[in-house]
Structure 1
Amino acid sequence: FWGEDCLQEFDGMFAFAIWDEEAKTLFCARDRFGEKPFYYSYVSGQQFIFASEMKAIFAAGVEQDVNQEMLFRYLAHDVVENPAAKKETFYSNVSKLEAGHSLTIHLGEEPVIKKYWFINPTIDYSIGFDEAKSRFRALFLTSIERRLRSDVPVGSSLSGGLDSSAVVLAIDLLKKEGQTQKTFSARFNDKEFDEGRYIEMVVNSKQGIQPYFTWPDQEQLYNSIQQIFYHQEEPFGSSSIYAQWEVMKLAKQNNVTVLLDGQGADETLAGYIHYFDPFFKECYLKDKKEWKLEYTAFKDLHEKEITFDPSFFLSAKFPQVYSTLGKLKRKVTVPAYANDFESSFVDEYKVSLPFEQNRNNLNNTLKFDCEKYGLEKLLRYSDRNAMAFSREVRLPFLSHELVNFLFTLPSAFKINRGWTKRIMRESLSDILPEEIEKRVDKLGFQPPQQKWLQQKGWKNLLEDANLNLKKMRILKSNSNFRNWRVLMASQLLNTKW
């Protein structure tokens, strides 16, 4: 009917392969953002093996070789993907089909990989803010409505931040009268990290919300770390993944199969604090008076000052010159990791920084994070945690229609006078509690990781990981490099599927 054009009609997450017996053709595809995984191993003229987990490919006889260059990037630069070669994984013999791509193999021929979806960051300056608010709200609620379609129980994950609160309260707006919405949240016995006050603010604002809580702690993480890595298969960023793991477990214990989640809003609506850097550079280049007004508002709202040193102005006005100078500087300076890594490991696998990007424009920065590095790793963490408990996560903010629209909007519709996610805050102000709408201090499911790693059991585990990397001649014999990355690298090198 549609043929390969079917991909333009689909909304949401998918990864599939269809064999056409008549044409002797295999057609494979992955959703636009990489919500679902698609791994494969290809040997020309011999075999094409694919699966949703890498361990299944190893079980089919593919050799499990760690990608040493990816390992170096991770240990040296704390990156878990290669933006310059998105198909790479932490295993040399396994590739991933990139998000927004299809792969076609005709029997006896080489695979053909095509990109079928593109983010176009061209701004539509003709749209007014009020019209944009109305369209955002309509697209967001449509996305929620579609993702509520299910023949199994649907709930939501609630962190107390703006995004998950918006999802929960939009569901409440759309659900049938008398219907109860179950929410699942991670809390912590540490006031510095616990978001309970905001979670309860959302829950108590409506009568039809039934909350469930889990209380992750360092002992549970210690006992679960190998199981989590078994499902993740590759290094993951921090213990916040464990908090999400416990949320998925909680949903299973309470018989909720589908969870709506706020993932993707930060990367499409400019939610992270570091997005102020490209925003300020964009303002500076367009209108210096406006730049000063924006910075003053930021400083007053966040009670934080930014030092605009010469590098800010150089990278804003002459990004290529700034990039070239950065490369020259790195050539003549000794990197910090040189004190810890064996020279043989560095000399063989040292590469330039895993990516260089011109961050003097907000929309282009968001595009990079959605397509190249940032969003997809978070989607991997989430999907693996969910599938470990046979749960399904659906992401309303990643409706491609909504994302397409957001990338046509001027930067001031996303960041304005110190506020991130401006259009969402104002579009949904009637359903959000005011204190949450005005939040600037979001934590999310963020455990007190540094405190946990100081406990005796964790210190021993980090010491073992350090010794393991020394035996493999990755770390020098006198290295005191003991952190989360060392732990993840040790897990990677010692796990046999």
Structure 2
Amino acid sequence: MCGIAGIISRNPLLASSTRVQHMINAIRHRGPDGEGIAALTHNGETSAILGHQRLAILDLSQLGAQPMHYLDNRYCIVHNGEVYNYKELRHTLQQAGYHFQSETDTEVILAAYDCYKEECLQHFEGMFAFAIWDKEKQVLFAARDRFGEKPFFYLEDAEQFIFASEMKALWAAGIDKEPDETMLYNFLTLGYIQHPGDGARTFWKNIRQLPARHYLIYDLKEKRLTVHPYWDIDTDAIDRSITPEKAVERFSELFLESVSNRLRSDVPVGTSLSGGLDSSSVLATVCKLTGQPVHTFSAIFPGFERDESAHIKTAADHLKVKSHTVQPSATDLISDFEKVCYHQETPFQSSGTLAQYKVFQLAKEQGITVLLDGQGADETLAGYHKYYASYWQELGRSNRSLQKKEIATTKQLGINVSWGWKNQLAGAFPSLAASYLSGIRSKQQRELKDLEPAFTASFGASHYASPHIDSLSGQLYYNSFLNGLAELLQYADRNSMANGCEVRLPFLYHPLVEFIFSLPSSFKIRNGYTKWILRQSMNQQLPESIVWRKDKTGFETPQKSWMELPDVQDYVQEAKRTLVNKGILQSAVLHKKIQPQEIHAADNFDWRYLAAGTLLR
């Protein structure tokens, strides 16, 4: 896990080592173990400069330093992340005649690119964002992993192509820092920071991101940029012949394989533990594979009704781990909020992001550099309660008797799910439902009267159209790849790297995800339970109170009570004043009473003003 940066240009004023030095200085937190810059020339002129900040995880020697050269300096790479199957791929490449000087996955990426060119991406399993400069062809090849665990931001203009792991590196190189007003509008009115219709769009004008599961080629001679997808999920390829027993067996094999791959490290490894099924499943599998006491890290909130301390203790005691906890507070909100905003670079929806930051901070203080986490399970395995409606709508078109049974069973379990005539109508007419929801969102945006009319004048209809989704699988795809998971992955990357840690996510093993999407919906929601196949897989490894837990608690903090405190309200007021001064909010908002809300409330406007106002100072 590292920080990467680079400039491709024949203009010596733009392609300068000093400029790249400023860039990597801005992201030094991503790689405190070393730095490097390579100025790459062609016919006596500089054409590319690559920079790198290193967090040493594999092969801690200088042989793992970057930028790394290969094949008589034809190729030069900067790489952030991990290719977990590098040992197997290295063996394959050795049989094809390739030789290696280090024990790193970075060198394997270089050899694989030389061997397979763009098709090398089909061979990689992991989380990565890298850029390879081909001196001979004067071409940059860059790629991002299938889920977008690792970031890659860039700007292209007539004179340069410039990229980095974080946008602050681009700003350090002199790129303008100006918000995209549509993205700001969507956040203030709806709380969204992603744009599902444009995966390359960011919160900041002119700065793009390479979408997950895509690669790009920048040809310096032609000054031409092209972006291409390299992987996707076929949501229609459902295996309806597989039995529940075989499905659980295969799921368990793939999950074990994924966790095993993500334990490869030359530095200490621990896990996050929230007390829920996902993180507990990761922890149980780590314990099974290592046979050693594992260090776990958790955020707790004693006295808060949604506190997970009891569940965390249950899992920790059952698996006999070394549990470490931190208690984020309103004081932390005030003292660390600007720091978290600085690292996140975009506004975030709740104080759960701050709590996660404190967990990674605790891990680093305890000497743990790599943490495994449970993110991705809810989006791929239907873990949120909103997925009941998607499944029941699907059953309404295909199996009405099973639909009635599932609805009744869910109610018997005491799980409260909103299900009325509108849900049933949406199931019968999904395109009509999408249009209706888009209209609702547009109305919500127009009804926020705090915004300055001059700011909203350019916005007409909703800037956040709802998708046409007609199945549970379609809903899971949307949240896994277009809107939802990407936001959580951004939080995890920035929070971990801000503390010099690496986070690894076993549920985002692409063979596992491909298998999950090949299963019928009834393997994800069954007998009233979400994530049914995961629960079955973990039934013998974790306490029943965790495996068959019915309530769903996100990473929640006592945000409402924090927002009621005078010091926090003063902080919110300061952020609102910033938005007023920038012509975004009307001045009358400064005289309105602050309305503290629960962490996931739809009308959590004061939190959004706090996040956006702090970021735009």
> Shorter-chain TM-score category?
over 0.9
Letter in 2 for 1:446: E
Provide the secondary structure at the position in 1 that maps to 2:615. Answer: helix
CA-to-aligned-CA distance 1:134-190 (integer Å, 9 cap, x gap): 0000000000000001100000000100000000011111114xx221111111122
Amino acid at match of 1:491: T
Match of 2:54 in 1: none
Taking the aligned partners of 2:498 and 2:300, their CA distance within structure 1 comes to 21
TM-superposed CA distance for 1:205, in Å, is 1.1
Equivalence for 1:228:
340
Asked if 1:288 corresponds to 2:400, the answer is: yes
Count of residue pairs brought into register by the alignment = 488
Contact kept, 8 Å, 2:377 with 2:383, in 1: the verdict is yes
State the distance in 2 between where 1:330 and 1:197 align.
38
Aligned to 2:424: 313
Separation in structure 2 between the aligned mates of residue 335 and residue 58 of structure 1, nearest angstrom: 30
Distance 1:428 1:59, change over 3 A: same
Partner of 2:258: 143
Structure 1 match to 2:583: 473
Is the Cα–Cα contact under 8 Å of residues 302 and 418 in structure 1 kept in the other structure?
no
Question: Offset at 1:363?
Answer: 0.4
Q: Supply the AA of the counterpart residue of 2:566.
A: K
Pair 1:164 & 2:279 matched: yes
2:433 corresponds in structure 1 to 322
Q: How far is the alpha carbon of 1:220 from its aligned partner?
A: 1.3
Contact 2:437-2:466 at 8 Å conserved across structures: no
Q: TM-score, with normalisation over the residues of structure 1?
A: 0.95
Q: Are residues 359 and 440 of structure 1, via their aligned partners in 2, closer, same or farther at CA, if it must alter by over 3 Å?
A: farther
Conservation of the 8 A alpha-carbon contact between 2:393 and 2:471: yes
Give the match for residue 61 of structure 1.
Answer: 174
| Structure 1 counterpart of 2:186 | 73
Rounded Cα–Cα distance in structure 2 between residues aligned with 1:193 and 1:338: 29
Residues 261 and 305 of structure 1: CA distance in aligned 2, closer, same or farther (over 3 Å):
closer
- 1:375 corresponding residue in structure 2: 485
Letter in 1 for 2:294: Q
Give 1:440's aligned residue.
Answer: 550
- Show the counterpart of 2:416: 304
- Deviations 1:350-386, CA, capped at 9 Å, x for gaps: 4414131234310010001111000011000001000
TM-score normalised to the size of structure 2?
0.77
Give secondary structure in 1 for the equivalent of 2:130: strand
> 2:452 and 2:554 mapped to 1: Cα distance?
37
Change (3 A) 1:118 1:327: closer
**More divergent stretch after superposition (60-69 vs 134-143):** 60-69
CA distance in 2, matches of 1:327, 1:73: 13
Please say if residues 439 and 462 of structure 2, whose CA atoms lie closer than 8 Å, have aligned partners that are also in contact: no
Match of 2:215 among 88, 102, 105: 102
In 2, the alpha carbon distance for the partners of 1:214 and 1:334 equals 37
Q: Runs of 5+ in structure 1 lacking a partner?
A: none
Q: Relative to 1, partners in 2 of residues 1:327 and 1:102: Cα closer, same or farther, differing over 3 Å?
A: closer
1: CA distance, partners of 2:139 / 2:306: 52
Letter paired with 2:191:
D
Listed one character per residue, the Cα deviations across residues 402-443 of structure 1 (whole Å, up to 9, x for unaligned) are: 000000000000001210000010012110111100112232
Change (3 A) 1:467 1:409: same
1:348 aligns to what SS in structure 2? coil
Percent identical pairs in the alignment equals 42
The reply on whether 1:14 has 2:122 as its aligned counterpart is: no
Change (3 A) 1:326 1:55: closer
Cα distance in 2 for partners of 1:213, 1:422 equals 29
Partner of 1:26: 140
Q: Deviations over 1:86-111 (max 9, x none)?
A: 11111112110000000001123211
Please say if residues 413 and 422 of structure 1, whose CA atoms lie closer than 8 Å, have aligned partners that are also in contact. yes
Secondary structure, in 3 states, of the residue corresponding to 1:139?
helix
2:342 and 2:615 in contact (8 A); partners too: no
CA contact (8 A) 1:82 1:354 kept: yes
Candidates 263, 269, 276, aligned match of 1:154: 269
SS at match of 2:231: coil
Judging changes above 3 Å, is the alpha-carbon distance between structure 1 residues 54 and 427 closer, same or farther for their aligned structure 2 residues?
same
The answer on 1:463 being equivalent to 2:573 is: yes
| Partner SS, residue 519 of structure 2 | coil
How far did residue 128 of structure 1 move?
0.9
Tell whether the 8 Å contact from 2:189 to 2:444 is kept in structure 1 after alignment: no
Please show how residues 445-456 of structure 1 align to structure 2 within 5 Å.
445-456=555-566
Q: How does 1:16-415 map to 2 (within 5 A)?
A: 16-44=130-158, 46-109=159-222, 110-121=224-235, 122-176=237-291, 179-207=292-320, 209-304=321-416, 306-309=418-421, 311-325=422-436, 335=445, 337-415=447-525
Contact 1:186–1:244 (Cα < 8 Å) also in 2: yes
In 1, distance between residues paired with 2:160 and 2:295?
Answer: 46
| Cα distance in structure 2, aligned partners of 1:119 and 1:384 | 27
SS at match of 2:458: helix
**In 1, distance between residues paired with 2:533 and 2:401?**
23
Which segments of 5 or more consecutive residues in structure 2 lack a partner in the other structure? 1-114, 595-604
Higher relative contact order (CA 8 A, sep 6+): 1
Q: Give the aligned residue type for 1:413.
A: F
Structure 1 residue 478 displacement after superposition: 2.4
Distance in 2 of aligned mates of 1:231 and 1:251: 18
Is the CA contact 2:375–2:505 (under 8 Å) kept in the aligned structure 1?
Answer: yes
The CA deviation at 1:468 is: 2.3
In structure 2, relative to structure 1, the CA distance for the partners of 1:353 and 1:64 (3 Å cut) is closer
Structure 1 position 317, deviation (Å): 1.3
- Determine if contact 1:270/1:414 at 8 Å carries over to the other structure: yes
Cα pair 1:39 1:50 within 8 Å, conserved? yes
3-state SS of the aligned residue for 2:218? strand
Cα separation, partners in 2 of 1:138 and 1:42, compared to 1, 3 Å:
same
Report which stretch shifted further, 417-426 or 194-203.
194-203
Q: Which residue of 1 aligns with 2:538?
A: 428
SS of 1:407's equivalent in the other structure is helix
CA distance in structure 2 between the aligned counterparts of 1:194 and 1:322, rounded to whole angstroms: 36
- Over 3 Å counting, the alpha-carbon distance change for 1:50 and 1:273 in structure 2 is same
Query: What secondary structure, in the 3-state scheme, does the structure 1 residue paired with 2:151 have?
Result: coil
Once the 2 structures are TM-superposed, how far is the Cα of residue 461 of structure 1 from its aligned partner? 1.2
Provide the rounded CA distance (Å) in 1 between the counterparts of 2:417 and 2:255.
Answer: 34
**Is the contact between residue 302 and residue 309 of structure 2 (CA under 8 Å) also seen in structure 1?**
no
Q: Which moved more, 1:93-102 or 1:444-453?
A: 444-453
Task: Give the drift of 1:37.
Answer: 0.5
CA contact (8 A) 1:155 1:183 kept: yes
Post-superposition offset of 1:24: 1.0
- Deviation track 1:20-48 (CA, whole Å, cap 9, x = no partner) reads 1111110000000010100001103x100
Letter in 2 for 1:2: Y
RMSD: 1.6
Partner of 2:108: none
**Amino acid of the structure 1 residue aligned with 2:211:** E
In 2, the alpha carbon distance for the partners of 1:364 and 1:325 equals 18
Answer yes or no: is the 8 Å Cα contact 1:167–1:262 preserved in 2.
Answer: yes
Q: Secondary structure at the match of 1:40?
A: strand
Give the Cα separation in 2 of the matches to 1:30 and 1:466. Answer: 36
Superposition deviation, residue 73 in structure 1:
0.8
Q: Which residue does 2:90 correspond to in 1?
A: none
